[in-house]
Structure 1
Amino acid sequence: RKIPRDVSQPQIRRFPERALNGDRYFRTSDEMAKLYADRPNLIAASLRIAEQCEDDVLPSRPEMPQLFDDDSRALREIVSVQAPDAYGPLKAVHRDRLEMELDRICRLGYASHFLVAWDFCRWAKEQTIQSSGRGSAVDSAVAYVLGFSRIDAITHKLHFDRFLPADGSKRPDIDIDFEAKRRDDIRGYMIAKYGVNRVGAVCAIGTYMTRGIVREVGKVMGLPTETVSFLSKRIHGGISANQLEAALEKRPELRDSNIPKEKFRWVMQLAERLMDVPRNIRTHSSGVVISDIPLADIVPVMWSATPASDESRVSDSQLRMIQWDKRSAKHFFDKFDVLCLRGQDVLSGIEDRVRTTNTDFSAERLPATTDPEVYRAMRSGELVGIPQSASPAMRQAHVRLKTNDLHDASLVQAGIRPGVGGAVKLNELIARRRGKPYQFSHPKLEEILGFTYGIIVFQEQVDQLLQEFCEYSGGEAEDIRDAIHKRRREDYGSMIKDKLMERMLSLGHPLNIAEEVFDYIAGFKGYGFAQGHALAFAEISLRCIYLMQHYPSEYFSALLSAQPAGYYGPATIANEARIRGVKMLGLDVNQSRELFQPESVKNELGIVVPKGGIRTGLMQLNGLSRNTKDRILEHQMAISTTEPSRSLQPLKSVQNRTRVITLENQGDHQVNDLLAFGGFFDFVAKTRPDRDDLESLILCGGLDSLCPNRRAMLWSIPQAQEFARLVDYRTGTLNFDYEQPPLDTDIEDFTIEEKKIYERNLLGMDVETHLVAFERERIASKGGITTAEAKKLSHGERAFAVGNPIRLRFPPTQSGKRVVFFDLEDETGLLNVTCFDDIYIRYGHAIVTQPYVTVRGEYQDRDGYPAFLATSVHPFVPVISRAQMRLPQVIGDFLVG
């Protein structure tokens, strides 16, 4: 008989009937002595064994592989050759800075480190892979010359000590962004170059978080799947495991959801105990180590689930993973961070698209940082769809700061991107930028903080203060700054206050100056950016703005193809493209490629749309199988060649002899020999999609060019599949004993509203227009305005608008009260809405759970940035939702008109 057990208790794998007991821990020396009091010789023996063990079982620190006989000499020669390309004729300031950096790099033994980075970045450029440096490596002029940074450290007066201190106390940390879709190719190149046993990824330890705990514990406890799914999706806004029970009582979106709280008793009791418990080991997203000796001689190694590249999925070129996380690895290995940034994918996609008409185009050679129109866009907040700059906080900061150059843009990056735990006092900085008076009590403070308006913005500024006023070395200053940040919960700054104050006073600084400097240093304990890091992100944003202004259809098609590529999803990006004059075109099996593509289009009057159009890609159809995509693309490719294969042309012989699939019988369209698919039956016969794929393609409009009546095609799926079984599309022959009736286009089709709902559900975006546009007349009749009109109101003026609430944010506040921000989206754009705690408590359920809401409130002008302070938020039931209620739930319902 099976022994019953308490399901709440963890079990021993080999003996599942035995629960874990209380003895599974390391005993103290006294406990061990008491336990083995009758055999003390065993304790003595264990001590002798411990004393005989080696205290250092690891080999010496491995070196980087050498690319040349003398890497130091080679590095100097390469920099000497490439420096004129980077700077033009070298001036004394260039030669002095490069010589200083090269001397330090070579003296500390890091020439090979730089050459390895130079080598794989050079290879990436040869493969047309977009890349750019980030982090403190951008502070290096040598990195700029070698090509793995796009920011000139000399022009921007970046401090090399932050990257590589003169005393060698900090090892160089080179972080480089590549295209997400090509990053594995970089790792594959490393393996091919240095050997599969000498290249490895760093591991990461995954832990349980609140949502995962709810899902896993709910599953183990046998709770209803729907309820567990609902609860896990509603957990947001910083709900920690120990706050679950309180959240179910207080959060309106959970409080009003009728969740059976008693059934979740075990979840709540176990949640806090499971929080941060290790769950799995996985490949770190970016960390890669390279060694001149096999990694397995140093550290345990295992296979990574991540392939080295798409072409190298066999074991000989599979990526190894060391069983050390990044913190452990960096103390023993020279590590690279091979990162991915979707902005690089966008830039690469634009290059590919523009080069079809301009072969000399390069996304790397743009006047973006000097174009006044680029900064005008930043100052206006027109940044939806711009990687690194699209969030409401980022857009608001650019408007308030009145961004006017790359430095200003970097201030915003450093002030906003670190998040709510950031160290920068951005509001004070903006106030000073806009005219608030301030002064410096010491010339050195002005020298260090003058270009940031007396506010510490960058990590280097803390290091400089410690070096200048406390006379620490660059490495010591960096260690102190790092400790203040990492040990901020212990208030490490206060712990070392006496030490710093004594040091400054002993160096002759007045007490008031010493206190002011300490306040600067200790106050920068949140997360911050290196100056070069902020400049690198800002530079990518500027290039994207320039490209959006000059190549709108190419830009938005590349952006949509690179999703997820920023703050907003494809629905919002497509809406922004329409607002900017780009015509969105639906999915079409004869025109759509894998990715979104720019397309020349005309409007209803036959006039060419100046900013072009974008054809929706097959990638956007949710659930479309890889096999069906490949067959569609195969036939498109064949028909686009000079002499298309006869087997891939429309089945004209069948059409002419049987008249069962002629386009004339499928909606009065004409046969086009240049199309891959000549009709609905022709498409099914060639691609042989399964039923789910075929239904999705019909309902999203992907087959409208073959027959405009979607319901008629749904009716004919069985006949089309039977036709596909009988026809041999390779030879164009047909079993003529089979008679197929033509499509019955007299069947009542779906309404336009129903079609648009299907498109949004299947494509995840609206194509021709936002669904709220269908409600515009009704909303206006009630006095409602668009989000675009709301931005033109006077400060304090009241109104109401209707739209989709998207991108909800629940930032923590000092008071502990909840403030909710979200974007209200309609066909004219986005409106930033703020809900204070009382409004959230009253209307939070509608904000979180409803797809459409009516927001009443007053307009606020926040230093030029438009915002809306909500006074009420109610669900809005659009007329189009009635159409959604009529939509079929199963395929048999399609037969009902």
Structure 2
Amino acid sequence: HEVGIEGQSSQQALEKLTFEGAVTRYPEGLPDDVAKTLRHELGLIESLEYAPYFLTVNSIVAFARSRGILCQGRGSAANSAVCFVLGITSIDPGRNDLLFERFVSQERKEPPDIDVDFEHERREEVLQYLYDKYGRERAGMTGVVITYRSRSAVRDVGKALGFSLDRVDALAKQVDGHAVDDLLPQRCREVGIDPETPLGQRLVYLVNELLGFPRHLSQHVGGMVMTQGPLCELAPIENAAMPGRTVIEWDKNDLDELGILKVDCLALGMLTAIRKCFDLIRQHHGRDLTLATVPAEDPVVYDMICEADTIGVFQIESRAQISMLPRLRPRCYYDLVIEVAIVRPGPIQGDMVHPYLRRRCGEEVPEYPSEAIRQVLHKTLGVPLFQEQAMRLAVVAAGFTPGEADQLRRAMGAWRKTGVIEKFRVKLMEGMKANGLPDKFAEQVFHQIKGFGEYGFPESHAASFALLVYVSAWLKRYYPAAFCASLINSQPMGFYAPAQLIRDARDHDVEVLPADVNESGWDCGMQSVECRVQSEEIADLKNEFPSPLSQISNLKSQITPHSTLCTLHSDLPCLSPAPSPQPLVPSLRLGLRLISGLPESAARAIEEARKTGRFTSLDDFVRRTGLGQPIVAKLAQADCFGSLELDRRKALWQALGQEKKKQPRPLFENVEEEEPAAELPAMSLPEQVFADYRTLGLSLKAHPISFFRQELQELRVTPAKRLLDMPDGRFLRVAGIILLRQRPSTAKGITFVTMEDETGIVNLVVKQQIWEQFYTVARKSAAWIVHGRLERREKVIHVLVSRIEDLSAKIGDLRTKSRDFR
């Protein structure tokens, strides 16, 4: 591991760096309680000889920051004041009442495990730094055992039994990606395999038998091991499939058992987006921001969060979170910590969500059987929402030793392995009974702890994520154009595709400009335009694209506009703490990265050629960029030559003619050829929109569903925006493009679907019976007509689906593939 500063031991070097960092973290002076905490932690680190490990992690973070790579520690490391002052984590554990012993304990003697998130596009730089610094003989990634899931089991068993590859592939695509349900025989019939034959019966049996069985060894998502001596003397090593990496042929859990220290260097897309957003804000607004300098506890930001206006915001943009926000109504940072943790399988399965919400709303009074239990649960109103609380309850209520409580923590961490927590039942129940606690309370506590076996968050983990929740929400509120551009430039990440992110940005008064060879780079960017009232044409387009979140709350109009647009709305107060509005309003310019099939090298060639001036014609563009006809044709199909006064058809016609000009014709080499301009009919608006979707996956002109509205009205289909005015229980029909399909493991087979038409978004709830009845359409169709019943629950509106019809034929081959999650 990392050696100390020359002439100093590792412990001395760590203490020096710690107190130097404390001066930076506490510029007004180090509080006595923080100094005491630091000395306590350093003493424990010294007794356990962990100083080299802390220095190693510190050097990794220092390298990342020296390269401008945004990073943040999370997990149990957020419990450490030492990690905070070193800059490894961003959360002050003293302010959030986080215990260092959750991270490092004298009794537990378990090696510390520091997780650090890095920008997902630049994490490889950090990994290669470690390989370069320690050498491949001393550094390697940890392995992880990959077990069979339904699709891999179907593929391997099907091949082994001799079924044709096309049928095996079709069956694998039909089954759920995570588990095999009782309908596997039916899925077999759908692809032409008879499950009643001996071979078919064997297929069904063996697929179920293989689930959870080890399949192969892969590399862990981010675990790195660095050793003092050669790794090959400790463990077997192999080359990874990815070039430049080597992997230890041991599972990460094996390393924990052997006490080998590792660092988890993880990738997080939101850090990439935030760093890119900071860069755009610095370039176009002249404001230099960091995670630490974003203004804290802004009530306007919390207003936006309470209205569930959170598309693109880290961790709180899912359907479940958007439904929870108007009920929980976060008003401070710790509310965000709870928000991050409460929408998880553990609290949901442990029936902790509704009791907490009732108590938060004053409908129920928390009751504590003892003062010790009140000390553990008072922050969460008597409901254990975090793993740490479950551990403390086991100690104070059931008499567990800290070591036994740590075993319980490990059991909660093994959330994929069902039944692990059950073995603690007797000891927990008997311990609580011995302490005089009522049987009802004991049963309730065990049920809640058992819920954590389905995955729950540690408080320190939720605290680290809550910071990114707030920062991303603040950026969305005050710099929506930069935030949207950064999200798109960081794809793939998050729940929403670029089309929905752009639609949401336009709803926040962001003018979005089309991709153009004279204006666009590879990435989406910012372009300053004169501050003016929007034209009637733009206003009409905005009327076609109202708030996608209007179904959640009709209070959205109360939110004040972005501070830089206050001059356009002088009758509205500017509540933003940001500087005074600038005379130029940055618009969002779409980047060439959105064009299907366009390589980044082509965009870079365009940017380089444009340094000598704007392109004046398509011939000038081709001559200066040197791009071939296929690339030019892609740009033409994406309507990127608007600044040259060429529409899509004219540009494509000229692009196709470029190849002809390049063919050698020596007899006519001195003859100037003037090709007459072709008179091509203009494309209709529907043709333009469908062409936009085919090439870009979105359109700034209109929504595809709008062209079928008359036909849908004849079918009595209701536009999404009209759901706001309809009563609970109304039976209706809605139609649109499918954006998201999400099937949480805790939802008892329910699938949550988000559908979009030209007027807004509709949230659908599809029960398992309906999903199975319309299985093929439900899983594969890009657009639906839905029959169902409107339901209103605390400002949240959704449609309970009773029938699904396929609308895909209407929209053709648009690039509208939904994002499906489990």
Per the normalisation by structure 1, the TM-score is 0.77
Question: What's the Cα RMSD here?
Answer: 3.5
Q: Is 1:123 aligned to residue 59 of structure 2?
A: no
SS in 1 for 2:289: coil
Q: Residue 698 of structure 1 corresponds to which residue in structure 2?
A: 636
What is the correspondence of 1:155-234 to structure 2 with a 5 Å cutoff?
155-214=95-154, 231-234=171-174
What is the correspondence of 1:440-519 to structure 2 with a 5 Å cutoff?
440-483=368-411, 486=414, 491-503=419-431
Give, in whole Å, the separation in 2 of the partners of 1:792 and 1:377. 22
SS in 2 for 1:525: helix
Q: Residue 526 of structure 1 corresponds to which residue in structure 2?
A: 454
Q: Is 1:79 aligned to residue 53 of structure 2?
A: no
Residue 155 of structure 1 and its aligned partner are, at CA, apart by 0.6
Q: Residue 754 of structure 2 corresponds to which residue in structure 1?
A: 823
Q: Residue 619 of structure 2 corresponds to which residue in structure 1?
A: 681
SS in 2 for 1:357: helix
Residue 470 of structure 1 and its aligned partner are, at CA, apart by 4.6
Question: Which of residues 595, 616, 637 in structure 1 aligns to 2:523?
Answer: 595
Residue 535 of structure 1 and its aligned partner are, at CA, apart by 1.4
Give, in whole Å, the separation in 1 of the partners of 2:743 and 2:240. 36
Give, in whole Å, the separation in 1 of the partners of 2:480 and 2:501. 12
Q: Which runs of 5+ in 2 are unaligned?
A: 540-563, 566-584, 815-822
SS in 2 for 1:410: helix
Q: Is 1:721 aligned to residue 659 of structure 2?
A: yes
Question: Which of residues 428, 431, 455 in structure 1 aligns to 2:358?
Answer: 431
Give, in whole Å, the separation in 2 of the partners of 1:567 and 1:285. 20
Q: Residue 766 of structure 2 corresponds to which residue in structure 1?
A: 835
Q: 1:706 to 1:109 in 2, by over 3 A?
A: same
SS in 2 for 1:478: helix
C-alpha contact (below 8 Å) 1:681/1:724 kept by paired residues: no
Residue 624 of structure 1 and its aligned partner are, at CA, apart by 1.8
Q: Residue 327 of structure 1 corresponds to which residue in structure 2?
A: 253
C-alpha contact (below 8 Å) 2:415/2:452 kept by paired residues: no
C-alpha contact (below 8 Å) 1:300/1:323 kept by paired residues: yes
What is the correspondence of 1:126-141 to structure 2 with a 5 Å cutoff?
126-141=66-81
C-alpha contact (below 8 Å) 1:214/1:228 kept by paired residues: yes
Q: 1:241 to 1:397 in 2, by over 3 A?
A: closer
What is the correspondence of 1:57-456 to structure 2 with a 5 Å cutoff?
65-66=3-4, 69-87=8-26, 88-214=28-154, 231-236=171-176, 238-240=178-180, 244-248=184-188, 265=200, 268=204, 271-272=207-208, 274-276=210-212, 278-307=214-243, 318-332=244-258, 333-418=260-345, 423=350, 425-437=352-364, 438-456=366-384
C-alpha contact (below 8 Å) 1:449/1:461 kept by paired residues: yes
Q: Residue 819 of structure 2 corresponds to which residue in structure 1?
A: none
C-alpha contact (below 8 Å) 1:121/1:148 kept by paired residues: yes
What is the correspondence of 1:736-751 to structure 2 with a 5 Å cutoff?
736-737=669-670, 739-742=672-675, 744-751=677-684
Q: Residue 39 of structure 1 corresponds to which residue in structure 2?
A: none
Give, in whole Å, the separation in 1 of the partners of 2:351 and 2:19. 38
Deviations 1:273-321 (A, max 9, x none): 55455554432211011111121121112223445xxxxxxxxxx3332
Q: What letter matches 1:569 in structure 2?
A: A
Q: 1:679 to 1:221 in 2, by over 3 A?
A: farther
SS in 2 for 1:802: strand
Residue 384 of structure 1 and its aligned partner are, at CA, apart by 1.1
Give, in whole Å, the separation in 2 of the partners of 1:196 and 1:502. 52
Give, in whole Å, the separation in 2 of the partners of 1:800 and 1:368. 45
Residue 512 of structure 1 and its aligned partner are, at CA, apart by 7.5
Q: What letter matches 2:690 in structure 1?
A: I
Give, in whole Å, the separation in 2 of the partners of 1:564 and 1:717. 31
Residue 704 of structure 1 and its aligned partner are, at CA, apart by 3.7
Q: What letter matches 1:530 in structure 2?
A: P
Deviations 1:784-815 (A, max 9, x none): 4432332343333444332112322334568x
SS in 1 for 2:133: helix
Give, in whole Å, the separation in 2 of the partners of 1:275 and 1:738. 72
Question: Which of residues 743, 755, 758 in structure 2 aligns to 1:810?
Answer: 743
Give, in whole Å, the separation in 1 of the partners of 2:85 and 2:309. 33
Q: 1:520 to 1:559 in 2, by over 3 A?
A: closer
Give, in whole Å, the separation in 1 of the partners of 2:287 and 2:787. 52
Q: Residue 595 of structure 2 corresponds to which residue in structure 1?
A: 621
Give, in whole Å, the separation in 1 of the partners of 2:434 and 2:803. 60
Question: Which of residues 684, 692, 701 in structure 2 aligns to 1:759?
Answer: 692
SS in 2 for 1:206: strand
Residue 725 of structure 1 and its aligned partner are, at CA, apart by 5.7
Q: 1:367 to 1:181 in 2, by over 3 A?
A: closer
Moved more, 591-600 or 176-185: 591-600
Paired residues, number: 761
C-alpha contact (below 8 Å) 1:681/1:723 kept by paired residues: no
Give, in whole Å, the separation in 1 of the partners of 2:652 and 2:163. 38
Per the normalisation by structure 2, the TM-score is 0.84
Give, in whole Å, the separation in 2 of the partners of 1:420 and 1:740. 74
Q: Residue 48 of structure 1 corresponds to which residue in structure 2?
A: none
Moved more, 859-868 or 498-507: 498-507
Residue 503 of structure 1 and its aligned partner are, at CA, apart by 5.0
Residue 115 of structure 1 and its aligned partner are, at CA, apart by 1.6
Give, in whole Å, the separation in 2 of the partners of 1:462 and 1:740. 81
C-alpha contact (below 8 Å) 1:302/1:323 kept by paired residues: yes
Identity of matched residues, %: 27
Give, in whole Å, the separation in 1 of the partners of 2:267 and 2:421. 34
Give, in whole Å, the separation in 2 of the partners of 1:819 and 1:840. 8
Q: Residue 557 of structure 1 corresponds to which residue in structure 2?
A: 485
Q: 1:368 to 1:785 in 2, by over 3 A?
A: farther
Moved more, 487-496 or 349-358: 487-496
Residue 173 of structure 1 and its aligned partner are, at CA, apart by 0.8
Give, in whole Å, the separation in 2 of the partners of 1:514 and 1:587. 62
Q: What letter matches 1:321 in structure 2?
A: V
C-alpha contact (below 8 Å) 1:420/1:812 kept by paired residues: no
Q: 1:290 to 1:103 in 2, by over 3 A?
A: same
SS in 1 for 2:679: coil
Give, in whole Å, the separation in 2 of the partners of 1:503 and 1:220. 52
Q: Residue 631 of structure 1 corresponds to which residue in structure 2?
A: 605
Q: Residue 859 of structure 1 corresponds to which residue in structure 2?
A: 790
Q: What letter matches 2:111 in structure 1?
A: R
C-alpha contact (below 8 Å) 2:689/2:703 kept by paired residues: no
Moved more, 262-271 or 784-793: 262-271
